[in-house]
């Protein structure tokens, strides 16, 4: 693997003139801190090493150390080289993106300068291409392409000036063990000033025509990305071919398994004239996503990626005395969660220390809700409990005629929740007295959703009801089986799933079914929606992502057992538990696995993410706090 950039204006033999240099031997410690372990790359100006950071004595923290040996005799050249190296360091230090390696340190010793970078466990794409027998799977290349567009968009939108990577090629794309891409070698990346001409820098075969004329624009990076994808899909190295000859090697002629749609996107990126390419990385990503949706490829991108190592360690774990099937609440630095040992626990969110517990006479599956100084939750002991947030002491209780498995919601000074007594209850927040009860035909385990001065809730008979604040039915919809799932409002739609194996989108004003999406099996998971996507789990073990406008599946992710947990979105990730015991973290746009955490029981409740920390309970009796 070579991490050094080949400069076209600077023929190789010029680099060859440089005196042979001594490589650092394994065992050498640099700067009293970095213990060199191995050489992982050799370039024109020095080597790249894997090293261990000795500032972390208790863990093995690996870093990549990029070395630049400056032996140029001309002082001006020497100075330029150092400046370039420093520029790379400074540039990297300002960039914060998951697909760009983090920089930890920069220092010089004698004529040598060093960059200390995040070590990427994985291989570069060139190695992946050459080591794969046959062609890489299209969906795999497509996912990487989408991620590369993401990082290019990030660079091109950099303020104050866009950053042009200028050297997109397989050997500068690392694939880590999670299957995620990282862009490496920012040695020649530079900020772009419109109208400015530069010298031709880049890699022949991958660089677009205008880069040979000294122009480097965001569109040049798109061409090089197209060239990289062409190489990955066809295994034909463009450095071995005449420049700009991609149209003489149509992708599908070489690899007929590639879809027309993806071929069209790559061809558009490879247009000779920059104005004929995609106008931006975002547009190219959009086109890739459209190709993926149309061919259903994203749906296939599930678990056959390089399996991520299950090295997610909880920040803390808190043990209760029985199974946890409920969802935690974060409020005032405290995690509140109900348990089947009949207690509601208050746990310090920072360190997982026990604060207090409040006993009821039944299992607690209801998620608590907090308002000012009080906490409200239902229990299978048929009561709704109002408890002081800090004291853990009872304020009042309200009796229903059946277990309360639905979670309360607060609106307009009232609590709304369902019970197995078949009623939807509206209770005054302050005194715990009933405002009204609405009778349905079966147990109400779904958690109501309140919006537009309406209460939306499902029941075990498959009724879905829209009730106004006075307790009067506005409209009703009938599914074929139970609606245990809790609804959510998204734009004009109210979304929920049912045990009849449909995800429904109803017009929230009148209950007409706008669309329904067929799931493999029934579902009690509650959907959540963001952007133009809705996510839900089902008993067939899949987590689904569905387009809210067209009801088309965008992707599905397979877990090993049924998904009763409800997905939650935090930043660019989706978190969801499965009865297979894992908590999954997926990239929500593509459904790609980021990481998973294995508990020792089933994860039935839903995770809660707050301030970059995920809290989730398991039937192994524990509550876990994990880094999001």
Contact residues for another protein, defined by CB under 8 A: 96, 264-265, 267-268, 271, 275-279, 283, 287, 315, 349-351, 466, 474-477, 491-492, 504-505, 507, 509-516, 549-551, 611-613, 627
**Residue 106 CA: distances (Å) to CA of 88, 90, 96, 102, 114:** 10, 9, 17, 12, 6
Neighbours of 20 (CB within 10 A): 7
Which residue number, 387 or 495, has a Cβ lying nearer to another protein? 495
Of the candidates 194, 192, 193, 172, the one whose C-alpha atom is nearest the C-alpha of residue 181 is 172
CB of 93 to another protein, least distance (A): 12
Q: Indicate the SS3 state at residue 143.
A: helix
The dihedral sign for the CA sequence 265, 266, 269, 270 = negative
Which residue number, 29 or 510, has a Cβ lying nearer to another protein? 510
CB of 614 to another protein, least distance (A): 13
To the nearest 10°, the Cα dihedral for 430, 433, 439, 442? Answer: 80
Which residue number, 26 or 492, has a Cβ lying nearer to another protein? 492
CB of 349 to another protein, least distance (A): 8
Counting every residue written for the chain, the total comes to 628
| CA–CA distance, 179 with 369 (Å, rounded to integer) | 38
Complete DSSP assignment for 71-120: --SSHHHHHHHHHHHHHHHHHHHH---TTSPPEEEEEEETTEEEEEEE--
Q: Indicate the SS3 state at residue 173.
A: strand
Which residue number, 342 or 459, has a Cβ lying nearer to another protein? 459
CB of 89 to another protein, least distance (A): 19
CB of 509 to another protein, least distance (A): 5
Which residue number, 28 or 264, has a Cβ lying nearer to another protein? 264
| CA–CA distance, 574 with 399 (Å, rounded to integer) | 37
| CA–CA distance, 602 with 248 (Å, rounded to integer) | 54
**Residue 312 CA: distances (Å) to CA of 56, 316, 627:** 19, 12, 8
| CA–CA distance, 410 with 429 (Å, rounded to integer) | 8
CB of 464 to another protein, least distance (A): 12
CB of 552 to another protein, least distance (A): 9
Which residue number, 358 or 504, has a Cβ lying nearer to another protein? 504
| Cis status, amide bond into 160, omega within 30 of 0 | yes
Which residue number, 351 or 373, has a Cβ lying nearer to another protein? 351
Which residue number, 278 or 398, has a Cβ lying nearer to another protein? 278
CB of 628 to another protein, least distance (A): 9
**Residue 563 CA: distances (Å) to CA of 540, 575, 624:** 7, 12, 19
Which residue number, 209 or 388, has a Cβ lying nearer to another protein? 209
CB of 378 to another protein, least distance (A): 30
């Amino acid at each position: 693997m070579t991490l050094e950039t080949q400069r076209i204006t600077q023929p190789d033999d010029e680099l060859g003139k440089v005196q042979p240099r001594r490589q650092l031997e394994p065992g050498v410690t640099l700067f009293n801190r970095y213990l060199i372990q191995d050489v992982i790359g050799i370039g024109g100006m020095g080597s790249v090493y894997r090293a261990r950071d000795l500032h972390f004595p208790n863990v093995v923290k690996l870093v990549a150390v990029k070395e630049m040996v400056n032996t140029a005799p001309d002082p001006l050249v020497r100075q330029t080289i150092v400046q370039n190296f420093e520029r790379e360091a400074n540039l990297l230090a300002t960039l914060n993106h998951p697909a760009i390696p983090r920089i930890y340190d920069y220092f010089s010793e004698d004529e040598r300068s060093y960059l200390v970078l995040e070590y990427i466990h994985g291989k570069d794409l060139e190695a992946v291409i050459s080591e794969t027998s046959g062609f890489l799977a299209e969906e795999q290349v497509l996912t990487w392409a989408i991620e590369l567009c993401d990082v290019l968009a990030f660079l091109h939108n950099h303020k104050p000036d866009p950053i042009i990577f200028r050297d997109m090629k397989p050997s500068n794309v690392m694939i880590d063990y999670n299957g995620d891409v990282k862009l490496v070698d920012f040695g020649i990346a530079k900020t772009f000033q419109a109208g400015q001409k530069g010298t031709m820098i880049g890699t022949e075969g991958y660089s677009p025509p205008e880069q040979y004329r000294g122009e480097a624009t965001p569109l040049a990076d798109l061409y090089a990305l197209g060239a990289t994808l062409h190489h990955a899909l066809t295994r034909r190295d463009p450095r071995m071919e005449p420049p700009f000859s991609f149209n003489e090697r149509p992708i599908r002629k070489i690899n007929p398994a590639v879809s027309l749609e993806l071929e069209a996107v790559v061809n558009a990126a490879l247009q000779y004239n920059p104005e004929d390419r995609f106008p931006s990385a975002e547009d190219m990503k959009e086109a890739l996503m459209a190709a993926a949706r149309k061919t259903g490829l994203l749906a296939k991108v599930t678990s056959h990626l390089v399996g991520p190592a299950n090295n997610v360690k909880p920040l803390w774990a808190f043990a209760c005395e029985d199974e946890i099937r409920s969802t935690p609440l974060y409020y005032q630095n405290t995690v509140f969660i109900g348990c089947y040992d009949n207690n509601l626990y208050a746990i310090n969110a920072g360190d997982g220390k026990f604060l207090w517990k409040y006993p009821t006479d039944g299992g607690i599956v209801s998620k608590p809700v907090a308002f000012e100084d009080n906490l409200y939750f239902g229990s299978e002991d048929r009561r709704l409990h109002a408890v002081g947030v800090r004291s853990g002491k009872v304020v009042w209780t309200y009796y229903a005629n059946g277990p309360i498995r639905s979670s309360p919601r607060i609106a307009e000074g009232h609590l709304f929740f369902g019970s197995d007594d078949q009623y939807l209850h509206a209770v005054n927040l302050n005194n715990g007295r009933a405002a009204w009860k609405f009778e349905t035909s079966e147990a109400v385990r779904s958690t109501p959703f309140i919006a537009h001065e309406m209460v939306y809730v499902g029941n075990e008979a498959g009724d879905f009801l829209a009730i106004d604040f006075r307790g009067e039915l506005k409209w009703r919809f009938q599914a074929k089986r139970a609606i245990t799932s809790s609804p959510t409002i998204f734009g004009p739609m109210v979304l929920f799933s049912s045990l009849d194996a449909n995800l429904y989108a109803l017009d929230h004003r009148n209950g007409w079914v706008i669309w329904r999406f067929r799931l493999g099996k029934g579902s009690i998971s509650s959907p959540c929606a963001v952007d133009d996507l809705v996510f839900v789990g089902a008993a067939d073990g899949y987590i689904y992502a569905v387009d809210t406008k067209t009801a088309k599946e965008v992707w599905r992710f397979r877990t090993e057992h049924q998904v009763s947990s409800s997905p939650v979105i935090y930043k660019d990730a989706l978190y969801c538990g499965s009865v297979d015991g894992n908590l999954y973290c997926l990239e929500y746009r593509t459904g790609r696995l980021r990481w998973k955490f294995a508990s020792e029981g089933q994860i039935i409740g839903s995770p809660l993410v707050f301030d970059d920390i995920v809290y989730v309970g398991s039937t192994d009796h524990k509550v876990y706090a994990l880094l999001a």
